[in-house]
Chains A and B, each alone.
Chain A
Amino acid sequence: MQKSLLIQPAKCTGCRQCEMACSFEKDKSFNPSKSRIRVFDIHSEARFVPYTCTQCAQAWCLQACPVDAIKIDGGTKAKVVNDNICVGCKVCTIACPFGTINYVADSGKVAKCDLCGGDPACAKACPTGAITYVDAEQTGYDKMRQWAVKTDTQSHTHA
């Protein structure tokens, strides 16, 4: 079963524990600027939105890479950058429609989410359940459940 990161902005409080978990997992330091997941603060809407690679099937980053540094992980289906091959040309950052693969000046390579080999650190660190790792075919489940709660008429009819 393919799994995917499910992000629900309404549950996010903007604490950045995900960013720290990610940078710690990949860099052994706490450094939000190295995180492959970023939280955006949409102040005008009172919303915090974590944003990371969607592991899209089209994988423009992979297709655009001139040196074939990006491969699909056989287990997780994550698109994974091989640092030994990456030349830091940044073409993938142009190709990605979502801006979720970024150049890291310190390393001279690009960095993106690789789903931590199937055990994403961001999801484990999220204190509110805004980031979960779920069956890719069931990402709408929570929304459906919420809708069911909203449309529950039992309390009215039996009140």
Chain B
Amino acid sequence: MSWTGKFLRIDLTTGTVKTEDLNRDWARQYLGQRGLATKYFAEEVDPKVDALSPANKMIFTTGPLTGTAASTGGRYSVVTKGPLTNCIACSNSGGFFGNELKNAGWDMIIVEGKSPKPVYLSIENETVEIRDAAEYWGKTVWETENGLKAKHQDPMLRVATIGAAGEKGALYACIVNDLHRAAGRSGVGAVMGSKNLKAIAVRGTRGVTVKDPERFIAATIEHKKVLADNAVTGQGLPKYGTQVLMNVINEIGAMPTRNFKEVQFEGAHKISAEAMHEPRPTDGKTNLATNGACFGCTIACGRISRMDPGHFSIASRPQYKEPSGGVEYEAAWALGSDCGVDDLEACTFANFMCNEHGIDPISFGSTLAAAMELYEMGVITSAETGGIELKFGSAEALVKMAELTGKGEGFGLELGMGSKRLTAKYGHPELSMSVKGQEFPAYDPRGIQGMGLTYATSNRGACHLRSYTVASEVLGIPFKSDPLATEGKAGLVKAFQDATAAFDASGVCIFTTFAWSLENLAPQLDAACEGEWTPEYLLEVGERIWTLERQFNLAAGMTAADDTLPKRLMKDAAKTGPAKGLTSGLDKMLPEYYQLRGWTTDGIPTAETLKRLHLA
């Protein structure tokens, strides 16, 4: 019923496969996906473990709504200890892999140990095998997915795989499924590589059932309509994708540019959603070929792009003439604005590279931006870069470095370390725009103050998907708050963090929250899952998940000193736009945030708080 009630435990060291029954009590307390996997992970893994050692585990997990007709119900998450941050990592992906895993009859896969040689996991319903992957090691994501489909003679096979970046330990390597959907952040692909696990190939035909079918289908239809009627999820995202934000965020002066030296980018419109819709002068076609949905998604924000066949970059990669996953807002920003590049085709090319080789475009673009700043300062020279001029605005440098980082070659090996380690190596750690080692996404905390607190307190390092206060501060959802004010943001961030954790645990996409609150999610869960699921209880589940993640990080060695932002954002005021003269007011928001969470002034949950959340 909604949960299959069964999961797989794969020990790669011994090559054994076991099935276990799901702990139903934990499912009631943590719901699924991000929540349930974090509970299992925290129970089983020493927080001080080396992220790339065999003692680290990784959990591929679905939510109770994954594989149902709930809109966007196709998500899965990967929970592990992240090599980029040494914190709990939870990376969430759409596409069709999550649904297939659930349809094969499994809520989760717990992967342990390390295989002595490259292997992949083959799952066909209850038939589960660890198979030799020698022929795929060193291959790209695209070659591996297509190769496995051919080998299994099954075009319906769903594959989650790493590329060379994950094999070679690029610390922000991701896991890609369906060619261009990724568990993108925190380096979960590097953990997979460290275990010699190349891919997981799944085919499932068992089906997913729910507690009360008639009530459930009525609830999903009702709430699909809510998404369709909403301006963001019904119109903005389908037409423009997340890229709808590029011009908006630039105008309000929160577009991090040239490694956060500036907050507005003069070339933003050239890499925006609107530009993706403009016919190109060269071939008369638009960059955007179509929008595409993940499993069950009635929003369909995904961008499928077709590159300009005459663009300089494409000569070396003829396969990029075929359409594939185009830039989302975060990628367009990281590869574009943050590196000062205003060439949409070059950004699309670099995005294809990230997908094909399995690297996170946010961390890659941000690390390249830091390297570009060091290059312009004369700290990094062309001797290190193999003769390539790493200047802000260079589309050539972007394209070349995406390839080197994806393949783990030359200066790409250094970029693959992430900005924290790269800038430290060259003696300028202050130039890493990261929290807990993970690079920022595309919102400058000087222009959107709530995002500063969001980044500083995120359990997986800087991240926009843990409390997207942009919804309130920019888009007015569920109410409009002033992006330049710090008052009230502590409460806003906490509320968003807890609600988001519940959404992540359910199996639906966070983008539904532009239209849905827990009031919309709860009736769908209540009809699908055993137990009683109310908005109030879901909020408690979310807070419990958040606090458990925090406890893991504290035990891993993190302290309140890690809840901070780079000096640049606290000392250097924004130079232009509405935020001109402002720095991040993190110091004003953080103490109130700790207090609201029921944590000490050192950011440690009190005994009372733990008891209230049934964590002690």
Q: Which residues of A contact B (CB under 8 A)?
A: 13-17, 20-21, 23-24, 27-34, 43-48, 106, 125, 127-128
The answer on a CB contact under 8 Å between B179 and A24 is no
Contacts of B238 in A (CB 8 A): 13
Distance to closest chain A CB from B1 (angstroms): 11
Q: Is B296 located at the chain interface by the 8 A CB criterion?
A: yes
- Which 5 interchain pairs have the tightest Cβ spacing? A31-B207, A15-B293, A46-B289, A29-B207, A13-B300
| B interface bracket (residues with beta carbon within 8 Å of A) | 35 or more
Contacts of A28 in B (CB 8 A): 209, 213
Q: Is B25 located at the chain interface by the 8 A CB criterion?
A: no
Q: Which residues of B contact A (CB under 8 A)?
A: 67-69, 71, 96, 99, 103, 156, 179, 204-210, 213, 217, 224, 228, 238, 289-298, 300, 302, 304, 306, 322-324
The answer on a CB contact under 8 Å between B294 and A15 is yes
The answer on a CB contact under 8 Å between A47 and B209 is no
Chain B facing A: main interface SS: loop
Closest chain B residue to A40, Cβ basis: B155
The answer on a CB contact under 8 Å between B69 and A20 is yes
The answer on a CB contact under 8 Å between A15 and B207 is no
The docked-state distance in angstroms from the alpha carbon of A29 to that of B295 is 16
The answer on a CB contact under 8 Å between A125 and B69 is yes
Known: A24-B69, A32-B103, A127-B298. A46 touches B304 (CB 8 A): yes
Closest chain B residue to A20, Cβ basis: B69
- What 19 new A-B contacts, CB under 8 Å, besides A30-B208, A47-B290? A13-B297, A13-B300, A14-B292, A17-B298, A20-B68, A20-B296, A27-B207, A29-B207, A31-B206, A31-B207, A32-B99, A33-B103, A33-B204, A43-B324, A44-B322, A46-B290, A46-B304, A127-B71, A127-B228
Distance to closest chain A CB from B206 (angstroms): 7
Contacts of A44 in B (CB 8 A): 322-323
Distance to closest chain A CB from B202 (angstroms): 12
Contacts of A23 in B (CB 8 A): 207
The answer on a CB contact under 8 Å between B69 and A30 is yes
The answer on a CB contact under 8 Å between B296 and A45 is no
Distance to closest chain A CB from B161 (angstroms): 16
The docked-state distance in angstroms from the alpha carbon of A128 to that of B238 is 10
Distance to closest chain B CB from A65 (angstroms): 25
The docked-state distance in angstroms from the alpha carbon of A44 to that of B217 is 34
The answer on a CB contact under 8 Å between A17 and B213 is no
Distance to closest chain B CB from A45 (angstroms): 7
Contacts of B323 in A (CB 8 A): 43-46
Contacts of A48 in B (CB 8 A): 290, 292
Instruction: Choose among B96, B205, B213, B293 the residue that contacts A24 (Cβ–Cβ < 8 A).
Output: B213
The docked-state distance in angstroms from the alpha carbon of A34 to that of B324 is 28
Closest chain A residue to B103, Cβ basis: A31
Contacts of A31 in B (CB 8 A): 103, 205-208
Distance to closest chain A CB from B128 (angstroms): 18
The answer on a CB contact under 8 Å between A13 and B293 is yes
Contacts of B204 in A (CB 8 A): 33
Chain A to chain B contacts (Cβ below 8 Å), 9 pairs: A14-B292, A15-B293, A17-B298, A20-B69, A31-B208, A32-B103, A33-B103, A106-B205, A127-B224
The answer on a CB contact under 8 Å between A21 and B209 is no
Name, among A15, A17, A27, A106, the residue most crowded by chain B CB atoms within 10 Å (CB to CB).
Answer: A15
The docked-state distance in angstroms from the alpha carbon of A44 to that of B319 is 10
Closest chain B residue to A16, Cβ basis: B295
Contacts of A125 in B (CB 8 A): 69
The answer on a CB contact under 8 Å between A17 and B290 is no
Distance to closest chain A CB from B356 (angstroms): 13
Contacts of B206 in A (CB 8 A): 31
